Amino acid sequence: MKLAFSTLGVPGLPIPDVVRLAAAHGYHGVELRAHPEEPVHPGIGAAERADVVAEFKAAGVEILGLAGYAKVAAPGDDVPVLREIHDLLVLAGDLGAPFIRVFPGADPGQDPAEADATAARRLGTAAEHAADLGVRILLETHDSHRTGADAIRVLGLVGHRRVGSLWDVMHTWLGGEQPLTTYAALSPYLGYVQVKDIASIEDTTPLPLGAGALPLGECVEILSRNDWDGWLCWEYEKRWYEQAAPLPGLLGAGRDHLARLLDESA
């Protein structure tokens, strides 16, 4: 498996510094948070996109994917959601990123079947453009669809190889789903896996990998036992928790922890 980290852990950091951190600590790739607060987002021009590609290429670091914020199950008109996904797909194509991330984002009062159908319709429409660009759209286990069982209600309706799943291990755990159950549900669709650690259900402040309650060892063991050979991406949510320790000082130990888990499960 390859190891990456998300720029959510180093909010606003210039791309040359992001790339240097990845290379210095032995990470194979980076997930870029595609938001206007960040250096990389759909609003940047062709020259800036080319500079980003050149920075990563020079360091031998891959762009794993773009973490976008489109809410595919949210109520309302399809057009703004599809435009948001379209712009993210174009950016991913220009950067050579294989994946983009979208959220479910259904409203609490929304009928679940209606939300599933809305998400599937939008993802199915966007999948054709994704296929043209060679990019895959991943629905993250998050918010209204936080478990694997929730996600496959949508993915099963879509039925397109360019639409898959992003397994966020925190959200499936918070949803009460066991890792083996999650893997069984998502394995036909799995793009990559976001790892992280937290103290408890009540306290989701990000912790160094291995310092919290999430079953990371079990997750890695299941993936290894099933010969899954994708990406593990450390999503350290520093952007939302100012009190969390800075990520750069944790990257080396985090990579070592994941490497140990991979060795133990080999």
pTM over 0.85: yes
CATH number at residue 115: 3.20.20.150
pLDDT at 22: 98
Q: Containing domain of residue 84, as a range?
A: 2-265
pLDDT at 264: 85
Q: What pLDDT was estimated at residue 76?
A: 96
**Local confidence pLDDT in tens for the 266 residues of the chain:** 999 999 999 999 999 999 999 999 999 999 999 999 999 999 999 999 999 999 999 999 999 999 999 999 999 999 999 999 999 999 999 999 999 999 999 999 999 999 999 999 999 999 999 999 999 999 999 999 999 999 999 999 999 999 999 999 999 999 999 999 999 999 999 999 999 999 999 999 999 999 999 999 999 999 999 999 999 999 999 999 999 999 999 999 999 999 999 998 86
3-state SS string over the chain? CEEEEEHHHCCCCCHHHHHHHHHHCCCCEEEEECCCCCCCCCCCCHHHHHHHHHHHHHHCCEEEEEEEEEECCCCCCHHHHHHHHHHHHHHHHHHCCCEEEEECCCCCCCCHHHHHHHHHHHHHHHHHHHHHHCCEEEEECECCECCHHHHHHHHHHHCCCCEEEEEEHHHHHHCCCCHHHHHHHHCCCEEEEEECCCCCCCCCCCCCCCCCCCCHHHHHHHHHHCCCCCEEEECCCHHHCCCCCCCHHHHHHHHHHHHHHHHHHC
Q: How many domains does the chain have?
A: 1
